[in-house]
Structure 1
Amino acid sequence: MHFGRQELDAPTKLVGFVVGIAFLFLAALFVGDKIGPDAGATAATPHTDHGAHDEGAAAVVMPAGLQASQGGYTFSLDRPVVESGAAVPIAFTIRGPGGAALTDYDVMHTKELHLVAVRRDLTDFQHVHPTRNASGTWSTTLDLTRPGPYRLFADFTPAGGENITLGAELSVPGDYRPQPPSPQPPSPPNVTSSTDGYSVTLAGAVTAGTSSTVASTIEQNGRKVTDLEPYLGAYGHLVALRADDLAYLHVHPEEGPPGPTVDFTVDAPTAGMYALYLDFQHEGVVHTAEFTIEVQEGQA
């Protein structure tokens, strides 16, 4: 009888086991049906947020001149370290997406390429226009009588493309004494500049994140200059550099009379101190006035 009871209980346990497995399977399907979409949504949420982050990141425009390479183009100096001197030879190439030297440019402000050099302490500003040979190598000379680290900016537009400004470091060994002491930017703001007998003043507030207008007024020996001569296709050319990292700003001259006031549109990406350099031509000579301004915070 004892053995007979075991034979009777085994099928009963087997049936119970099968029913239990079936119940668990159905329960799993039920729970999966209930939580599946939420789990999927949870898994998709990081992807969605990442996409939103990418869109926001794409909307942020990197200031010009902070990179040696951008969009497949590279600013390549032949010699990143040069000797000090009054007319030091400088040679470089702009390499295109395929690695070859770029030889086809659009003309911008009457030139294929603008080269700006400034010492890291924001002194010794130079704006020159190199010559290019058939192989695509650009050459010029710079006044590097004051040793120290320099930042070079190549401002150009590939034929049929967008304007690009690339930056490269140039070192001039010697006794480097920053003016003012690095890394502090020049302070306080200076909106009046005297150069070669000319007095130049800047007017107008610049706000970060918006297009702002600054007006430069030029006087010579106390008289307003009303016969400025075109320089690079306009009555003035303004370069702006962010003091903290030497980010290069594209500044556009506005059409107007040949003085005494020349207006410019400035797009500053952030608040802070900026150095401005105004080139203007009068009586056949190009002069440079230097300023320091403080850009205010914009509205969020």
Structure 2
Amino acid sequence: MPSSSRTSLRRILTAAATAAALGAALTACGSSGVGHDMAGMNHGGATSATASAEASHSMPGMGHEMPGTEGGNGLSDSQAGYRLTARDATVPAGSAADHRFAITGPDGRAVTDFAVDQTKQMHFYAIRSDLTGFQHLHPTMAADGTWSAPLAALTPGTWRTYASFTPSGGDGKRNALVLSRTVTVAGATTGAALPPASATAQADGYTVTVTGDLVAGMAHGMTVGIAKDGKPVTDLQPYLDTYAHLTAFHEGDMAFAHLHPETTANGDHGGPDLSFHAEFAQSGNWRLFLQFQTAGQLHTAALTLKVA
């Protein structure tokens, strides 16, 4: 056999041996370690429930919807078969009015069975397109599933109303949802510019300070400090089963985020620092509304937060 042919044969045999060794190594890995190193994957093509749970814990932000937020970004009137319906698309300007709405389920019928979340079955929000006029209400429900939210007087413009709830039965059981619709308030509209980003805000003589490095799409801890006359506040009272309620809206598209408190309420001595679990799906400016209570009075502080 010519030398060139012998050389080619040796190369072919060497390549075959290498491939066989590699295949054996991969087979060994698949039987002993891949299932743990790549959580959620298996060789049958199906997802392992246990591995998926491990993945959701090991990767913050996975396993539930963004932003930090339960129920998605709140920019749709329907999700998972549930729909927010409202009797009126317009609201009168300059006077208080009851806004009536209902939640229909996958079967098309009005839902009447809701779980309690932070002491309420329904949290209802209204905010104008320039992120002014924030209202957080707890409507009442009639026997037929019609909710009535007592809106304070609205200024002319386009508003978005949000319903935050958790069905306690049916296909959506225990799934927190946020649905929204727009309403129009007739009259001459004067827009307000969004205040610049700032870590501090004032409300009724209180100073609120927010700290935390926030990055879109990632879970981060965020701390809110409350002071008055330069002194830390330590007499916060429970409000909705916590020491503060924090809601945020994204500049431009008005995406919704509810930041979950991590500080447990225990008596009328909360503060001065409160911890929150923060997840924002988008970068840019978010308008935050912090609600807290002292001496039986509810305070609302608003500030613009820049998320990287």
Q: Which residue of 1 aligns with 2:232?
A: 224
Task: State the SS of the aligned residue for 2:152.
Answer: strand
2:133–2:154 contact (8 Å) kept in structure 1: no
1:144–1:172 contact (8 Å) kept in structure 2: no
Instruction: Tell me the TM-score normalised to structure 2 length.
Output: 0.72
Per-residue deviation, 1:263: 1.4
Task: State the SS of the aligned residue for 2:111.
Answer: coil
Aligned partners of 2:153, 2:97: CA distance in 1, in Å? 7
Instruction: Tell me the TM-score normalised to structure 1 length.
Output: 0.74
Which of 263, 274, 278 is equivalent to 1:266?
278
Q: Which residue of 2 aligns with 1:290?
A: 302
Q: Which residue of 1 aligns with 2:134?
A: 125
Which residue type is aligned with residue 169 of structure 1? T
Structure 1 range deviating more: 234-243 or 82-91: 82-91
Per-residue deviation, 1:285: 1.1
Alignment of 1:1-300 (within 5 A): 61=65, 63-159=72-168, 160-180=173-193, 186=194, 188-256=196-264, 258-296=270-308
- RMSD (CA atoms): 1.9
Per-residue deviation, 1:167: 0.7
1:240–1:275 contact (8 Å) kept in structure 2: yes
Aligned partners of 2:263, 2:195: CA distance in 1, in Å? 31
Per-residue deviation, 1:177: 0.7
Task: State the SS of the aligned residue for 1:251.
Answer: strand
Which residue type is aligned with residue 278 of structure 2? V
Aligned partners of 2:87, 2:227: CA distance in 1, in Å? 41
Per-residue deviation, 1:250: 2.9
Structure with more of its chain in helix, by fraction: 1
Task: State the SS of the aligned residue for 1:239.
Answer: strand
Structure 1: stretches of 5+ with no match in the other structure: 1-57, 181-185
1:82–1:172 contact (8 Å) kept in structure 2: yes
Per-residue deviation, 1:61: 4.9
Aligned partners of 1:61, 1:73: CA distance in 2, in Å? 16
2:263–2:276 contact (8 Å) kept in structure 1: no
Per-residue deviation, 1:60: 10
User: Which aligned runs of 4 or more in structure 1 are off by greater than 4 angstroms?
Assistant: 58-62
Superimposed CA distance per residue, residues 29-69 of structure 1 (whole angstroms, 9 cap, x where no aligned partner): xxxxxxxxxxxxxxxxxxxxxxxxxxxxx999573211001
Task: State the SS of the aligned residue for 2:91.
Answer: coil
Aligned partners of 1:120, 1:88: CA distance in 2, in Å? 19
Aligned partners of 1:281, 1:264: CA distance in 2, in Å? 17
In terms of Rg, which structure is larger? Answer: 1
Per-residue deviation, 1:86: 3.6
Per-residue deviation, 1:175: 1.3
Superimposed CA distance per residue, residues 165-206 of structure 1 (whole angstroms, 9 cap, x where no aligned partner): 0011011001111101xxxxx353122111112111111121
Superimposed CA distance per residue, residues 225-275 of structure 1 (whole angstroms, 9 cap, x where no aligned partner): 101011111000100111121111131001257101111111011211111
Aligned partners of 2:148, 2:300: CA distance in 1, in Å? 22
